[in-house]
Structure 1
Amino acid sequence: MGCVSSSSTSSPRLCKRTPGYEDPAVLAAETSFTVNEVEALFELYKKLSFSIYRDGLIHKEQFRLALFGDSKGADLFADRVFDLFDLKRNGVIEFGEFVRSLSVFHPKAPVSDKTAFAFKLYDLRGTGYIEREEIREMVMAILDEANLRLSDFAVEEIIDNTFNQADSNGDGMIDPKEWEEFVKKNPACLRNMSLPYLEDITTAFPSFVMYSRAEDCSGLK
């Protein structure tokens, strides 16, 4: 099998020499995907990893363009999702990381995995707790993306409502256990953590765009 081609006149080809390549059977055993689904994701990965740069890796600009329809500008939510997909923390997404991270969004993925991913999405500083300022930053990012403006009072009301429900011990932080209980009572928080077409990826290849903002947990409907 050939290896990565960087020529602008040839079509992208990835193989076992591709950075981060992993055997589809191994990835299928570790995720919610079948071998056929992993192979279909490999075709998608090829397209994404050659959309701007041609090195067989998905850079942040390529990720944002594919998943959010825009490759430029600051976007807290998009950047946060990229960081969570970038498991090796090396600034790019390799094939194995791509499949493992997407597996969380598979309809058959465990709810516990979806809950944990959503927690990390809000835990912007990676402290193991969700703090008020992190909720505020995410709410403001959602508002900015939607071109909405709310008063400071309304924003604080959203934050207060979230903590009144989730911060059961009243210490001003939401820990993973409190988050789990909060999500059980507010299942809409995980509504966008399942992408139904991932089950049909071998028969109907979708336009891969994700707009799964966190509005359901922040009170922004």
Structure 2
Amino acid sequence: MKRNVTVTRQESLVVPDVQNPFVHRLHFGILDKIQIVIMSVTVAPIRLLLAGMCLVLAWPLAALSLAFRTEEEKRKPLTGWRKAFSGLLLWLGRCVIFIAGFHKIKLRGNPASALDAPVLCAAPHSTFFDTIVCFMGQELKSPVAKIESSSIPFLGTLIQFTQPVFVRREDPNSRAVTIQQIRERGQSGGAWPQVLIFPEGTCTNRSCLITFKPGAFYPGVPVQPVCLRYFNKLDTFTWTWDGPKAFACLWYTFCQFNNQVEIEFLPVYNPSEEEKNDARLFANNVRAVMAKHLNCPVTDHTYDDCRLMVRAARLKLPMEAGLVEFQKLHQKLGVSSKQMQVYLDKFCKIAKSGHISLEEFAIYLHLPKSQALEEVFALYDRDNSGTIDFREYVIGLSLVSGPANSNDTIQFAFQLFDTENQGYISKEGFTQILCNAFKMNTQDVQVLFDKVDSDKDDKISFDEFKAYAEEKPEYAKLFKTYHELVQGNGHVENNGTPPKAKFD
């Protein structure tokens, strides 16, 4: 009789409420399509033209303000005549927002000054339109931006005028430099503009708040949480990894009569001493406050999940197959980003549609179905769905097969096959065990033997056996499970039994 075996569920590894926050689909009704067609030949081109004119007017003002600065001046906030154009550029930015269809932005709460809250923490981050926050209040905000954005023709100059905190991803010291810059600005007594950061680090579909990156919280300065909400029935704003492209979002939004957004400034969050010493705790607590106001769940997805999504797509798997809440698995299981990519490549070789069935699991291990195989499969299948997704596969390798694949287990399994204590596994001994234990036919045994026998000398040495066991750690758990079944039942139903002494 098959036993219902499951791995002990850890609350820290349960499936998230929102399994894919990086997907967005637009569903156009007949009226929506008619509206877009009409607006595309009437209002939208005019909006695009007027917005472009405002940017053209803004560029020379920004360029003049930034001209001929010394290296020392670049490290200080704009003052004097260089800052004189700030009000006009702020107004032009608001004009662009109005032209884009955001005719009435609803503001809630009280925006804090740079002295009271050096950092603005805005979420959820779902679109490039979120930069509207930069133009709210009495002065422009300084966003955290990639250094590459400073070299974008035309727009790069406008971005530099906001005096952003640039991040150099290729520089291993970039995070330390960014933290130091935020700390210095926070201790400047309000001389610098507020730093605007989107701590999620990437765009989502606003169904949840993903992990906040701790970078902006390391300085330990007060932050003001800012909640963003969009209300249009047709959501043309959301720009995710799996959804409409940037220009499509822009154009569809320009084709809306009125775009509704609400920006809520929550009370300033002053960190405790414990939070100042633990940036991740600080970030998680701020996220919890924002999630409560937004009435949405939190998940442990990160930008690393997006990278795995892209890799999954390249491997011809569904993009969502790569979503595993990487940060959580990294913390709980110690799986690195590089290991996760290796696991995904391996998963792709087994799964054909983003999930591993029992049949695919058997084919991958070159084994027929058996009770022992079903037992191991059940250990991986954490939700008892009958298939194994990539997240379950990673957890299974880490909690099931990995621990089972110890040197002692490998040594035990090798001795099991080495029936005559020759120091190597012969083809006869290999065939005898696998045919008896799993009812494999001799042809399948030959294929598996050839895979393990890397030097093709018709003998499997311990090193060859160990190398293959490390490549496929599922075998270790499989034989341990089979051994336990034999010891517990004295037989394996419908699968024959090798002499029990060989397993003792």
**TM-score, normalization: structure 2?**
0.21
Bigger strand fraction:
2
Larger Rg: 2
Normalising to structure 1: TM-score of the pair? 0.44
